Amino acid sequence: MRRLCLACMTMALLHLLLSTSADAQSLNEVLEAVSKNVKEFQDLLPDFVCDERVTSTEFDAGRLIKEKVVESVFAGFQRSRDENRAHFAFTESRDVVAIDGKPARKGTAFPKLPYNFAGGYSSLLTTTFAPDNLSIHNYTLGDSYKSSDSSAILVRFATKDGQQKLTGMFQGMQLTAQDIGAAWIDQKSFRVLRLQRRSLHLPPGLTRSVATVDYGPVTIGEGQFWMPKRIQAEIDENGPRVTLSYVAEYTRCRKFEADVKLLP
């Protein structure tokens, strides 16, 4: 009986080792697969609209000072940068529907927020994993995480010392990006599940700036894309005393369709 149990344990351990070896991917394999998915997101994502809810707050020593909630129809468009080149830039616009729970008139301008985080919908993903930006980051593989229905790989990253390509805008100041962060990658599809990026090069007065995006599958037209479901960004001013927060949530994403009328 002992020999039989020992044989069973040996076979189980061998099976575990073989499974782990088969599922393991090298850093280069992970980056290649993720960047390929990001490139498809850049090139194939059609024009679309989503329902967006933005909540922006200001806290002073943990006490709520200001809050603004804006509901809008968020539209994302791919626009060619050059007629002779197949590169695309993502642009966004919003039609405000309600402010602090009160319906807004058509054409109402987006109100001033305690903190407005711009460009989080696509720029964090492309900045971190687009093929053209891989060379300006250092990446390392972290632990793997498993749940009942999926598994994920942790990838840590940091901008390389002395890079000049990436910049960030803070309080009207354009600064060279010096960032660190982490991404949780689905081990089967190599889609980004969550991405967190923290800026270390900040202007005087800011002590922390971090943004986190959660992604999920969305059907647009006849294709399925991994798109932001929730964006959260925070900055601290004058130490940890003053915290400004921006949270954007997206639902009901669908293909953009416009009625075109030909005038005589």
Question: By CB neighbour count within 10 A (0-12 exposed, 13-18 middle, 19+ buried), where does 148 fall?
Answer: exposed
Cα torsion 173, 177, 181, 183 to 10°: value is: 100
Amino acid of residue 177: A
Cβ atoms of residues 255 and 221 within 8 Å: yes
Q: What is the pLDDT of residue 90?
A: 75
Beta bridge partners, 140, equal 156
Pull the structure tokens for residue 234. Answer: 């925070």
Q: What is the pLDDT of residues 134-190, one digit of tens each?
A: 999 999 999 888 776 779 999 999 999 999 999 887 767 788 889 999 999 999 999
Q: Give domain limits for the chain.
A: 44-255
Is residue 212 within 8 Å of 193, Cβ to Cβ?
no
Strands 242-255 and 223-237: antiparallel
Q: What is the pLDDT along the chain (264 residues), one digit of tens a residue?
A: 444 444 444 444 333 333 333 345 799 999 999 999 999 888 888 889 999 999 999 999 889 999 999 999 999 887 654 443 344 467 888 999 999 999 999 999 999 999 999 877 888 999 999 999 999 999 999 988 877 677 999 999 999 999 999 988 776 778 888 999 999 999 999 999 999 999 999 988 899 999 999 999 998 888 888 899 999 999 998 777 899 999 999 999 998 876 434 344
Its CATH architecture, for the domain 44-255, is Clam (2.50)
Nearest to 125 by CA among 226, 249, 209, 26: 226
